Chains A and B, each alone.
Chain A
Amino acid sequence: MYKYFPHTESDIAEMLERIGVASLDDLYAEIPESIRFDKDYNLKKSMSEDEVRNYFKELGNLNHPLTVFAGGGAYDHYSPSVIGQLIARSEYLTAYTPYQPEISQGTLQYIFEFQSMMCELTGMECCNASMYDGATATAEAMLMAIAHAKKRNKVIISRTVSERVIAVVETYARFHGVTLDYIPENDGVTDKAAMEQMLEANDVAGVIVSTPNRYGIIEDFTGFAESTHAHKTLFIVNADPSAMAVLKTPGEWGADIACGDGQSLGMPLNFGGPYVGYLAASRDLVRKLPGRIVGATKDVDGKRAFVLTLQAREQHIRRQKANSNICSNQSLMALYVTIYMALMGKRGLQEVNEKSYAGAHYLCDKLLATGKFSLCFDKPFLKEFAVRTTLNRETLMKHLEEKGFLAGIPVEGTDDTILFCVTEKRTREEIDNLVSLIEQEG
């Protein structure tokens, strides 16, 4: 007897009788002796609810939550109380994929709202029901470009895209047989002239860039869409959706595909997941979009309703001919950011960016004023920026961690550069404390 198993002894006996076997063992009679498992698992003993709580508390005590001055793909934005409580509703939490639309209008409707809001933020015409994370969404954008181009097998990606994203794109490219080349960076941004040269051979299916980029720089994509489209190449922009409330959107830059991570839309850091990727596109690419897509329709009584649509693209119908193997989304996390966007609305997201911008520039100026830091690039940034330090980077970061600060992220491939991030959650007091601790460093 156990709390998750409702079977009594007599239930089991009656059920076995109906089946016509004598024991539970008989249900496994066909399994060859040689591969049966009849030992005890080498696992911990069953724990009561309080024992589970205490165990997690013990593990939790080994963690040190810090005041976060770091981004790099995971941002510490304000998360309204409402969201956690609404997404915990069992009607959302414990539902299956909405394959039965008559009893899944809740899920289908919020996905439709998610798609609508993501289109608004990114300036694109269609968006799917979400992807696993920003990195895999970018890899899927690459696969879309390959599928779209039919006879081209090369994608080029800017070196200024986050190394975390590039790592995943590289893995997908290698196994799928896509040739992945790199557009060099020039003073912290994508080298446009180099890109144009790489497009000359007319063999590139897609160009992938990002904004803000791996250094936090807001890239200027003026002329990128014209250059790529002149060679029938798709222009793909990985963009932070929170920042798109104030920055020029992928749609406004003329992108064919936008992708990225929705974590910046108020989701908890959660040690890296679950987050939510998004993949949006221009209308003519809708049938190349992978994953689930929700559309509006009517029921037999004429009532407005929503349904999974364009399913003929997907793996359960196309099998090996599908462009992607994805057969789920991060639905509940899509709901998370949908409620966030509803609460923050038009004004709130602008305010988040305004405050993050002010805090980041304030910190940056204070760091430069210590004389121990210099800006890596003189380029516009929003909430994240890269600085070089004359201090020993590893010692500095370790000391600050001991004082309770996650003081940026070391930039890979350098030994003196740190990427700092400030969101609207960071107060002036926290920034001043951080800077005064830095001033005390050797």
Chain B
Amino acid sequence: MSTVLDGLYYSESHEWLKVEGEFGYIGITDYAQHQLGSVVYVDLPEVDDELNQGEEFGAVESVKAASDLLSPISGTVVEINEALEDKPELLNEDAFNNWICKVTISDPEELKNLMDAEAYKAICE
């Protein structure tokens, strides 16, 4: 059974979003990393990239699978988690503590389109 943390926002494509003031941290869920298996590469966005909710901004690869990252929220990338470049396995070790990128949220209204932990748990079952 995969872990789901309370207090985060979730997308149907298995990304999580943690909101801290005007910023948001984006990662993939524990369920997603389980499905992928050993992560061998994370295709990270670049700082200043404009993300749109629901649109692709990178990818996570395992040996025999690749999964596009769809942004849970629109915004501008202000920081990326460079540790993932050398240690993509961090996503397997702890998907919730290893965010992929940090964005400035451009439209908080979009949070309404995301799920809370309860709703997300339901779709993982």
Residues of A within 8 A of B (CB): 287, 311-313, 317-318, 321
Question: Is B68 in contact with A312, judged by CB distance below 8 angstroms?
Answer: no
B124 at the interface (CB under 8 A from A): no
Task: List, in ascending order, chain A residues with CB within 8 A of B83's CB.
Answer: none
Question: Is A317 in contact with B66, judged by CB distance below 8 angstroms?
Answer: yes
Question: Is A287 in contact with B41, judged by CB distance below 8 angstroms?
Answer: yes
Please measure, in the bound complex, the distance between the C-alpha atom of A321 and the C-alpha atom of B69, giving whole angstroms.
13
The number of residue pairs between A and B whose CB atoms lie closer than 8 Å in the complex comes to 19
A294 to chain B, nearest CB (A): 14
Please measure, in the bound complex, the distance between the C-alpha atom of A71 and the C-alpha atom of B46, giving whole angstroms.
45
Q: Which residue of A lies closest to B40 (CB)?
A: A312
Interface bits B31-56 vs A (CB < 8 Å: 1, else 0): 00000000011010000000000000
Please measure, in the bound complex, the distance between the C-alpha atom of A312 and the C-alpha atom of B62, giving whole angstroms.
7
Task: List, in ascending order, chain B residues with CB within 8 A of A313's CB.
Answer: 66
B5 to chain A, nearest CB (A): 27
Question: Is B63 in contact with A287, judged by CB distance below 8 angstroms?
Answer: no
The DSSP consensus for interface residues of chain B is strand
Please measure, in the bound complex, the distance between the C-alpha atom of A287 and the C-alpha atom of B64, giving whole angstroms.
14
Q: How many residues on B have C-beta within 8 angstroms of the other chain's C-beta atoms?
A: 10
A311, A312, A313, most chain B CB atoms within 10 A: A312
B119 at the interface (CB under 8 A from A): no
Please measure, in the bound complex, the distance between the C-alpha atom of A317 and the C-alpha atom of B40, giving whole angstroms.
15
B61 at the interface (CB under 8 A from A): yes
Task: List, in ascending order, chain A residues with CB within 8 A of B43's CB.
Answer: 287
A365 to chain B, nearest CB (A): 55
Please measure, in the bound complex, the distance between the C-alpha atom of A318 and the C-alpha atom of B61, giving whole angstroms.
10
Task: List, in ascending order, chain A residues with CB within 8 A of B66's CB.
Answer: 312-313, 317-318, 321
Q: Contacts A287-B41, A287-B43 known; A311 to B63 CB distance under 8 Å?
A: yes
B59 to chain A, nearest CB (A): 8
Known A311-B64, A318-B66; 6 more pairs at CB < 8 Å: A287-B41, A311-B63, A312-B40, A312-B65, A321-B66, A321-B68
Please measure, in the bound complex, the distance between the C-alpha atom of A317 and the C-alpha atom of B68, giving whole angstroms.
12
Question: Is B41 in contact with A317, judged by CB distance below 8 angstroms?
Answer: no
Task: List, in ascending order, chain B residues with CB within 8 A of A318's CB.
Answer: 66
Task: List, in ascending order, chain A residues with CB within 8 A of B64's CB.
Answer: 311-312, 317
Q: Which residue of B lies closest to A311 (CB)?
A: B64
Interface bits B85-115 vs A (CB < 8 Å: 1, else 0): 0000000000000000000000000000000
A354 to chain B, nearest CB (A): 44
